[in-house]
Amino acid sequence: MRLRVLFLLVLFPLFAVSAPLPVPDQGPALRIQGSNTIGAALGPALVKGLMEQLGLQAVHSEPAEGANEQRVIGKTRQGKTVSIEVAAHGSSTGFAALKKATADLAASSRPIKDSELVDLEPLGDLKSPEAEQVIAIDGLAIILHPQNPLNTLNTEQLAQIFNGEVSTWEALGGVGGPIHLYARDDQSGTYDTFKDLVLRLRSKPLAPGAKRFESSEQLSDAVSQDPQGIGFIGLPYVRQAKAVAIVDGDSQPMLPLTSLIATEDYPLSRRLFFYWPPSSRNPWAKALVDFSQSSKGQAIVAANGFIAQQVQAMAVEPRASRPDDYQAIARDAQRLTVNFRFEEGSASLDSKARQDLQRVVAYLKSHNKLDKQVTLVGFGDAKNDPQRAALLSKLRAMAVRRELVKNGVVLRDIRGFGAQMPVAANTADEGRIKNRRVEVWVH
């Protein structure tokens, strides 16, 4: 299965370069290192798109010296060769390469760790809005053999399975005998994300018997050929395997659907990043970052099976299990494919939310929705006092309202639903942060 989505391509400014980019006399114009999820196909595709946008000719990629490394090459109209190197050995290697000055841009399928942030402090603040660039949204799919009858697993079961505590399919109500585990390697951002979202939260290490892979494609193909297999993978690499619905805490079962991943409601959704050090003077790095956020760049994101960040409206079924007031909103309006989230321990919008603000404003302008056509719906994590939870959820919506008002948006309504309708478990900080969100509805 290869999930793709088409979005309206009207929400980003056209990418433009004010002056021709310099071509080095020798060596690559840009060196990118890090995530296999990004570097295997998405990163090179974005590089090709940038080169073509700049008018380079005969753009193509070829293998570089090492495994999982490639070089994208193009020629200027004057006949000079431009090459950009992409090495895909795992997210942590990208940050290590920035420190060693062997890369200009780090590709990562997880946020930068606090230890890495401190380690790279001489390069500037890599958590600043300019440095931390969310280029796409991905979801970790839990995959089984296509004939496996199980359709739903919860995150607690996942932790027990991959820790080895649950070792047979019969223990899960299935059939097939011993469970065979497939996992990415230690350098992989995919593994880091799974470890953070599933294993670490429950203090469970990965079972030592798991088969490890550097290649996402090889892992997926191995699971799809093993009736007893289970693995985790980025969305574009589900391929011939079967993805199951995931439950986290009191959330509803969620398949890795594009709409649920775009809003980051899906329990195993994640962001894909470029980290561009503030100290960098490489103009090709800035050009690639800007191109990745443009409409053409985001079209490439979607074409490679990830979720583009362009905003669209979607109908939501007013399910009876949801609060009456929420059902009324769902009947009268459509939800935008974006959730506003906040910095940890802060009322400030996070780096993606700041980018999303401009996307939402662009959508509202292009659809004539600036004047009393928007309802903001806030949610929070569970509190001892439900009234306090409801108040805090409304205050978060008001924080988004302030930013929208600055851009000429007149709101129709602001609602706070407290701790109702969680999308993640409230037993850890990560889940509580996901539950502290603001939805945008257009009438």
Digit-coded pLDDT (tens) for 384-396: 777 888 888 898 8
Digit-coded pLDDT (tens) for 122-163: 999 999 989 999 999 988 999 999 999 999 999 999 999 999
User: Where along the chain do the CATH 3.30.1330.60 domains lie?
Assistant: 311-442
> Average model confidence (pLDDT) for the chain?
90
Superfamily of domain 139-260: Periplasmic binding protein-like II (3.40.190.10)
Distance CA 140, CA 177 (A): 25
Task: Give the rounded percent of residues in the chain with a pLDDT score beyond 90.
Answer: 71
Distance CA 131, CA 121 (A): 12
User: Where along the chain do the CATH 3.40.190.10 domains lie?
Assistant: 30-135+272-303, 139-260
Q: Which residues pair with 182 in a beta bridge?
A: 211, 231
CATH fold group of domain 30-135+272-303: D-Maltodextrin-Binding Protein; domain 2 (3.40.190)
Q: What does the pLDDT average to over 4-28?
A: 59
Superfamily of domain 311-442: OmpA-like domain (3.30.1330.60)
Q: In this predicted structure, what is the pLDDT of residue 5?
A: 34
Q: In this predicted structure, what is the pLDDT of residue 435?
A: 86
SS3 letters across the chain: CCCCCCCCCCCCCCCCCCCCCCCCCCCCCEEEEECHHHHHHHHHHHHHHHHHHCCCEEEEEEECCCCCEEEEEEECCCCCEEEEEEEECCHHHHHHHHHHCCCCEEEECCCCCHHHHHHCHHHCCCCCCCCEEEEEEEEEEEEECCCCCCCEEEHHHHHHHHHCCCCEHHHHCCCCCECEEEEECCCCHHHHHHHHHHHHHHCCCCCCCCEEECCHHHHHHHHHCCCCEEEEEEHHHCCCCEECEEECCCCCCECCCHHHHHCCCCCCEEEEEEECCCCCCCHHHHHHHHHHHCHHHHHHHHHCCCECCCCCEECCCCCCCCCHHHHHHHHHCEEEEEEECECCCCCCECHHHHHHHHHHHHHHHHCCCCECCEEEEEECCCCCCHHHHHHHHHHHHHHHHHHHHHCCCECCEEEECCCCCCCCCCCCHHHHHHHCEEEEEEC
Which among 281, 241, 61, 48 is positioned nearest to 142, based on CA atoms?
241
pTM for the model stands at 0.81
Q: In this predicted structure, what is the pLDDT of residue 202?
A: 83
